[in-house]
Chain A
Amino acid sequence: MTRQELLVLIQNILADVLGNESLQLTEQSTAEQVPDWDSINQVKLLIGLENELNFRFSAQDVEGLKNVGALINLVQRKLAAKI
């Protein structure tokens, strides 16, 4: 998947989780900038990605993700490891 496709997927999942249909993310977006993007909703987002893309994050994977771009980097690494 391209970075743009992953950005749209992350945005769609998070929009459902937060109930915010007008949510717009960029690779620079952070949890602090998005209302209600707390730790529980972060877990819901990560599990949503796991379900959509059929892999598992480890505890180490998800520590210290700085922004959406870092999450896209991580997802691309997980997808490459599946091949």
Chain B
Amino acid sequence: MSVSVIDLPWLREAPSDFGARCRAAGTAQEPAARELQFLAGYRLTSRNATLLARAVRRCRADLKDLAPLSPLRLGVLAGATSDLLLDDLVAAAARHGVALDIVSAPYDQVAQQAFDPTSLINAARPDAILVAVDHRWLRLDRPVLDQDAAQNVAARVGQLREIVQALRTHSGAAAILQTVATPPTPLFGSLDRRVQGSVRAMIDEANRAIGELAEQAGTYLLDVAALAEHIGTDRWFDPVQWAAYKLPFSADCVPIYADHAGRLLGAIRGKTRFAGGPDPEGAGFASNITPAAIGTWSEADIATTLTTGRTPELRYVGSSMANVVANLAMLPQSDRDAIASYVKSLPPRPTPPP
């Protein structure tokens, strides 16, 4: 049996009473936030995410204490149907330590919302604004063979730059930009790599420019292109659901997209940095290296582990960490001591649910 990242295989399957527990969350003695985050740690279908998101909204409306979840108001601007993402985003954010409050703009109102100082999004004063646009919104969905393709890409990313600046000016919030997934339908086959105006070549250039824009403008970046490649773009895109519902990508991919976005939101709130998570290089789970997990280790213990791979519990690190140790062991001792000192200085953060 093959296991795909799309199924969030590192999460536990939701129990049959998931809906009932969502409906009960916040009504019992147990702190609401703890139960919400626990429920968010399950593998959720979009239907389950809707139940959990409703519980989060109800607890907020009832003024329940949502600590230690960090509140974050997120504006969402999308060039396609985003309504189906919202509940999944709330659920995934709770998984990563964030109590998300979403303000969503109407369908395909990206520029209008950004440039109008009194727009719904700007007036909401969000903490961050997700600018969820894809190759279609950027007009990179058709080859440009009769004019300057580079100019076309520059113009489209330039528009994105103006939107980011307008949002910063009018709302005070930093944007979360997305890279753009490349549809799996070549025009000239392998030649697409060499033709400047092919969809693939223009998206490659746009993603480079979006990364540069994120650096220059100090925005966050959600690497949707990398996620779609990981899953497989044939599975990421669903032309039928685009035609039927204007979904920017397959509904099957909404939970994994939301998990990646939730992870980023957790990082924005500093909830999960160095606290462990799924190993991005493959199967497994990277360990928490904050004092919440290794608080009993001394600086010398950490430096020894970085040199020999041996932990104070007399175990040896494995997986990709073994390769890291093999490389770190070649550094000067003073460098390993400096790393150990830094790791020891990290604040304790709980491990996010696997």
Contacts and interface: CB of A to CB of B under 8 A. Distances in A.
Interface of A: 13, 16-17, 19, 21, 40, 43-44, 46-48, 50-51, 56-59, 61-62
A56 B54 CA distance: 27
Contact of A58 (B46, B84, B240, B252): B240
Nearest to A51: B45
Interface of B: 19, 23, 45-47, 50-51, 54, 81, 83-84, 238, 240-241, 243-245, 251-252
Contacts of A59: 240, 243-244
A20 B47 CA distance: 14
B334 to A, nearest CB: 55
Contacts of B46: 44, 47-48, 51
Given A40-B83, A43-B81, A43-B84, A50 B50 contact: no
Contacts of A13: 47
B84 A40 contact: yes
5 contacts: A16-B51, A43-B84, A46-B245, A58-B240, A58-B243
In this complex, the member of B19, B46, B47, B240 whose beta carbon has the largest number of chain A beta carbons within 10 angstroms is B47
Given A40-B83, A47-B251, A50-B251, A17 B243 contact: no
B244 A58 contact: yes
A56 B84 contact: no
Nearest to A47: B251
Contacts of B84: 40, 43-44, 47
The 10 A-B pairs at the shortest CB distance, nearest first, are namely: A59-B244, A59-B243, A40-B83, A47-B251, A43-B245, A48-B47, A19-B54, A16-B47, A56-B240, A58-B240
Contacts of A46: 244-245
Nearest to B238: A56
In this complex, the member of B23, B251, B252 whose beta carbon has the largest number of chain A beta carbons within 10 angstroms is B251
Contacts of B252: 51
Contact of B47 (A17, A21, A62): A17
A43 B238 CA distance: 15
A4 to B, nearest CB: 21
Nearest to A50: B251
In this complex, the member of B23, B45, B241 whose beta carbon has the largest number of chain A beta carbons within 10 angstroms is B241
Contacts of B51: 16
A19 B58 CA distance: 11
A17 B83 contact: no
Nearest to B252: A51
A43 B45 CA distance: 15
Contact of A17 (B23, B50, B81, B241): B50
A59 B54 CA distance: 29
A43 B51 CA distance: 16
B95 to A, nearest CB: 19
A61 B19 CA distance: 30
A81 B126 CA distance: 47
A46 B241 CA distance: 11
A46 B54 CA distance: 20
B244 A62 contact: yes
Contacts of B240: 56-59
B296 to A, nearest CB: 45
A44 B244 contact: no
A57 B242 CA distance: 12
A13 B45 CA distance: 12
Nearest to A41: B83
Contact of A51 (B47, B54, B81): B47
A62 B246 CA distance: 13
